[in-house]
Structure 1
């Protein structure tokens, strides 16, 4: 059996060729650029034309030792001695194809849900094509979009089978890294390749287009064993607290620019909290500014508190460009459980961009995870909370491939490997409007410092640099310790006098105070 490299899988589409570009020339240039597998797809050609195209295409691929698969047509695959076929859900059965093809032939099947995958495994396929991941104009979709975040559950079905997984549907260089990063299961099962059509075929420079995709694929693969999840089982409480103290200093020295698309009810106090900590806020929402701001800001906070349909574009563009520029992105799904519109918006946004950290209360994170353990009322949680919050945040962090911050009387933070609990704060913090929103501002500010401190060189395989778990711990710990100090002041009589006192104490907070008051535990 031929060993197949599925990493950069080209699916042909002659109708997408730019004006004046020869199909065979385009194919050869794409192979020169790094394509590792070619599927010849001809949905409208008659048999004689398909056979001619397949014969000439395979001859070109043979020059570069790149295997060829044929879409659907077993007769064409046999005639040109292709390496195998790719079948759709309505094509010939795998058993029939296997009986007709020679031993060792590769058979792949398109899958859109877990039942498709289970059936494909029972049928003995060699790989599955999962999609569509993004909307695509190259093929009319007969099934719902899987979405980036829907790929992981399908990959989990492949665990231990040896069957490969390839994603397809609207994949381009502009969304490839988001696709790769998000298409990983909770068991750290990553895709084996990406199938690309228009980004290569429609390019006037297919070699360059393939090289661009190949560069990202190689960089991501090299980084994957470490992943975004930092192993910290051997980390001591003391070292984490000292890390927070170090980030406090970095924030004061760096004065990070924190871009915040946030709840307009609390924009002023969020900006004031950012300033008090040592950051510099910019509260910009115009979609046309997002690309430019992503270059100059040190982190991004997206808070959906006052959700509007016209704000979707700003959030998606800001998140996309934050990923592209490897800036920390803190996402706050405020009140996600309050309406179907909010739930659908959050799902759509998280398929567009990859969050570095997701922060929310029990009700918000339960709604995000699809859990029924916690009820919500507006933007607040009601009920007793999760039975096992430690397992919950760890599982959600693995699923979303980011740090998860669960706020409440006890704060739980996880990167999917370790959970850190923080027991600081004061009940009065929950009596001011937007206490959760300002927590997001604090986390985004310290994540900016964590990214700056890392001094990692740009890496095409990463969406963010720095220790996001430490930055998130710092953001919550600094805010809750300052809240304790503020609440104990004699001039604080209630929520009205607490907020200005909190801002003052954030400004005045010292490393000594933080060290003495921090209530932090590590659960590895």
Structure 2
């Protein structure tokens, strides 16, 4: 019986009998039982892969797999072997770059059969579209033990350009290789194109085939993937052609009102040097701080917090950072990441890479050295927490390039989401002369991003300026402007003599900051 309906690519099982729990790989009955358990748990598409079976055995396994999948109306594809697919009436075939040419496979397959093609580059994806693919398997995204000849691992930040190559087509995309329950959210959040296209699903092998509880494993993965696909990605993109400075500033002023109205809880794992002033800044803005680092608390805290700030100025809580980000990603709330002095030591750099490979940041906030390190730039370098070198002659292109992978702030007066870059000339020199000024900018950005996210979920928009307040770009700009405008107001006070009297005055001015002050004083510029 052929598959009927629309293909659901969300949880795609690629079989591998060799991965069955110890002692089961020689028992084909255990494979059938595992397969059915995964289907009950939520698998929506199955590819039969038998690299070591002879033709007769492959055919028998494929037929029985099809019988089981028919009970759940789940389509069955065959890996590589079009002869097997035709002989047993499969719903389609998946081919790699070294298999039979996809254009020929398409000609040999019956009409309406599903054709999947592996793609590791934008050129391969574009060719797959030309050859008539229904979907492309983009990868390898992670290292995997299921392929010995694996090469050119993309990482989640390498998927976006391949997704771009599918624009204008109806070809779907699934992420492949090394995907499991621990990294699936990072995979989905991070695998987004510049045009905000995301994956249609994930293909998994060992996460299900090697599980001793395949039903539970499939159910857990299915819930995560379906939850992600049911709502738009948090990292929405604004249309640069429709933006103007007045609209942006109005949106920021609106978000300050939302902070005061909602008082979101801001969970902060932050630099020990700046914990007290970060908490006070959060309170002054109208939000509620909670400083907690224990990994055991993170699931519960994610239920009550509106945003998470991870600042690793003093890296002593990496386990808490990893766990917190995972749970906040699950709830699709913002994460602001401040990689303090990321280029100063190998440990800091490796920690940043581990964090960014475990969860998806909504905003990365840093100084030129930190941003330069993440962008692999030679224009600036790190000296402790400071930046030295010539600096970025033209920050906008570099910021856009990195922001296509990780939406971010640049130097404290630049913000980019990969398509739009905005600079601000607000601020006072005293900010650079007090300890933790960058940390409190991160605190403020997290607060505004929490308000932006709440506004997006309530459907709040500005019909006149056509801005979506849920965009993290607006949240990042808002958090930056709140600190820099308050710094100007504080420095103008007669009771402020220098940096010692400036800090408490800054907290006062944040407390008294109003939307009207933002509208009056904000100085921003949009860069093409």
TM-score range, shorter chain: 0.7 to 0.9
Q: Tell me which residue corresponds to 2:433.
A: 431
Match of 1:13 among 7, 13, 16: 16
1:167 and 2:175 correspond:
yes
**Are the structure 2 counterparts of residues 161 and 337 from structure 1 closer, same or farther at C-alpha, using a change threshold of 3 Å?**
farther
Conserved? CA contact 1:328–1:465, under 8 Å: no
Match of 2:48 among 28, 40, 49: 40
**Are the structure 2 counterparts of residues 115 and 319 from structure 1 closer, same or farther at C-alpha, using a change threshold of 3 Å?**
same
Match of 2:501 among 475, 488, 497: 497
Conserved? CA contact 2:268–2:289, under 8 Å: yes
Conserved? CA contact 2:400–2:417, under 8 Å: yes
Match of 1:191 among 184, 199, 215: 199
Match of 2:491 among 465, 487, 492: 487
Conserved? CA contact 1:360–1:406, under 8 Å: yes
- What are the Cα deviations for residues 214-244 of structure 1, in whole angstroms up to 9, with x where unaligned? 6765665565599611347545544443443
Deviation, 1:319, is 0.7
Aligned length: 510
Please say which of residues 244-253 and 343-352 is displaced more in the overlay.
244-253
Conserved? CA contact 2:102–2:117, under 8 Å: no
Mapped to 1, the partners of 2:153 and 2:244 lie a distance apart of 43
Q: Tell me which residue corresponds to 2:344.
A: 338
**Unpaired runs of at least 5, structure 2:** 460-467
Q: Tell me which residue corresponds to 1:460.
A: none
Instruction: Spell out the pairing of 1:21-420 with structure 2 (5 A cutoff).
Output: 23-24=31-32, 27=35, 35-61=43-69, 66-73=74-81, 75-87=83-95, 92=99, 94=101, 98=105, 108=116, 110-112=118-120, 128-134=136-142, 136=144, 142-143=150-151, 145-157=153-165, 165-172=173-180, 175-201=183-209, 223=231, 228-231=236-239, 233-234=241-242, 237-307=245-315, 311-400=317-406, 402=407, 404-408=408-412, 411-420=413-422
- What are the Cα deviations for residues 419-452 of structure 1, in whole angstroms up to 9, with x where unaligned? 3332111112111222111110111122223333
**Are the structure 2 counterparts of residues 117 and 372 from structure 1 closer, same or farther at C-alpha, using a change threshold of 3 Å?**
farther
Please say which of residues 486-495 and 235-244 is displaced more in the overlay.
235-244
Conserved? CA contact 1:361–1:381, under 8 Å: yes
Mapped to 2, the partners of 1:387 and 1:56 lie a distance apart of 63
SS in 1 for 2:273: coil
Mapped to 2, the partners of 1:299 and 1:62 lie a distance apart of 44
Mapped to 1, the partners of 2:106 and 2:171 lie a distance apart of 19
When normalised by structure 1's length, the TM-score is: 0.81
Mapped to 2, the partners of 1:102 and 1:115 lie a distance apart of 24
SS in 1 for 2:481: helix
Q: Tell me which residue corresponds to 2:511.
A: 507
Conserved? CA contact 1:74–1:97, under 8 Å: no
Please say which of residues 107-116 and 440-449 is displaced more in the overlay.
107-116
Conserved? CA contact 2:139–2:154, under 8 Å: yes
SS in 2 for 1:265: helix
- What are the Cα deviations for residues 452-505 of structure 1, in whole angstroms up to 9, with x where unaligned? 344539xxxxxx993433322221111111111222233333323322222232
Conserved? CA contact 2:12–2:201, under 8 Å: yes
- What are the Cα deviations for residues 111-160 of structure 1, in whole angstroms up to 9, with x where unaligned? 55678768978999775433333455656674464322222234345556
**Are the structure 2 counterparts of residues 107 and 26 from structure 1 closer, same or farther at C-alpha, using a change threshold of 3 Å?**
same
**Are the structure 2 counterparts of residues 292 and 189 from structure 1 closer, same or farther at C-alpha, using a change threshold of 3 Å?**
closer
Mapped to 2, the partners of 1:504 and 1:97 lie a distance apart of 71
Q: Tell me which residue corresponds to 2:442.
A: 440
When normalised by structure 2's length, the TM-score is: 0.80
Match of 1:422 among 418, 421, 424: 424
CA root-mean-square deviation = 4.0
Conserved? CA contact 1:112–1:143, under 8 Å: no
Conserved? CA contact 1:186–1:395, under 8 Å: no
- What are the Cα deviations for residues 328-383 of structure 1, in whole angstroms up to 9, with x where unaligned? 21111222233343333323222221112111122222222233343443332334
Please say which of residues 325-334 and 511-520 is displaced more in the overlay.
511-520
